[in-house]
Structure 1
Amino acid sequence: MSKKIAVLVNEDTMQRCSCGGCLKAYMNKVDSFERYADEETELIGFSHSGGDLTKKLESFKKNGVTTIHLSTCTRGKNENYESIAQQCAEAGFDVVGYTHGSAVSKEGKVAIELNAKN
């Protein structure tokens, strides 16, 4: 059985980004996805964190997602980064707070990692 993953990207960034860094990291199982090196994974959802996030999380849950990765740009550019991570965990998802690059940003911000709350 494969691990089902979704990625949430920063809404503003997604307006001008091809999301190639996130997808490349996922496909090559590097950076935040390295943890799945010996597991079969399936990318079930890829969306931005804006709009009706509760509805998106319900859809992810319905489709079997267990882990949500917040994009590296969300960590760096979204003032609601911590709140989004908490909302995902409270909805029952494990949360990894970055996709590509280092778990610690150039500014020293450490990526959030949370276990599902329910």
Structure 2
Amino acid sequence: MKVAILVREETMKRCTGKGCLNAFFQKKDAFAGYKDDVELITFSHADGDIDHKIETMIKNGVDVVHLSTCMRGKAANYEVLAKRLSEHFDVVGYTHGSEEGKGQKTIIIKKAAK
């Protein structure tokens, strides 16, 4: 299983990524169901040329994109981005902490059928 984590660019200016990365490497919170064959392919912010990022993730065989918990809590485009990504990947709309969001519900979408 190949995983990408996309975070909010504004948050990355002050965040070390510790919460997302700890959850991934310790297989807890959003990553609790993953087996030993999970590989982190991308850890990037979601701004910029998203189409290029999607193409690169496809080329690198990404199966699942996790939108960081900060995306769920603060990104105005959270739902739109999740739907766009689900055209190519399964999408899990958080990384660490509770699956239940405080402001927005967590989006979990299986890749859209073609």
Does TM, scored on the shorter chain, surpass 0.5? Answer: yes
- CA deviations on 1:56-111 (whole Å, 9 max, x unpaired) are 01100100101000000000000000011011011x1000000000111234x321
**1:54 offset after TM fit, Å?**
0.8
Q: Give the structure 2 partner of residue 55 of structure 1.
A: 52
Instruction: Choose the corresponding residue for 2:10, options 9, 12, 25.
Output: 12
Q: Give the 3-state SS of the residue equivalent to 2:97 in structure 1.
A: coil
Q: What are the residue-to-residue correspondences of 1:44-83 with 2, within 5 Å?
A: 44-83=41-80
- Compute the RMSD of aligned alpha carbons: 0.9
Q: Give the 3-state SS of the residue equivalent to 1:32 in structure 2.
A: helix
Q: Give the 3-state SS of the residue equivalent to 1:47 in structure 2.
A: strand
Q: Percentage identity across aligned positions?
A: 50
Instruction: Choose the corresponding residue for 2:102, options 101, 106, 118.
Output: 106
Which runs of 4 or more aligned residues in structure 1 lie more than 3 Å from their structure 2 counterparts after TM superposition? Answer: none
Give unmatched runs, 5+ long, in structure 2.
none
Structure 2 distance, partners of 1:21, 1:35, is 17
Give unmatched runs, 5+ long, in structure 1.
none
Structure 1 distance, partners of 2:62, 2:101, is 26
Number of equivalenced pairs: 113
Structure 2 distance, partners of 1:84, 1:99, is 16
Q: Give the 3-state SS of the residue equivalent to 1:6 in structure 2.
A: strand
Structure 2 distance, partners of 1:63, 1:21, is 24
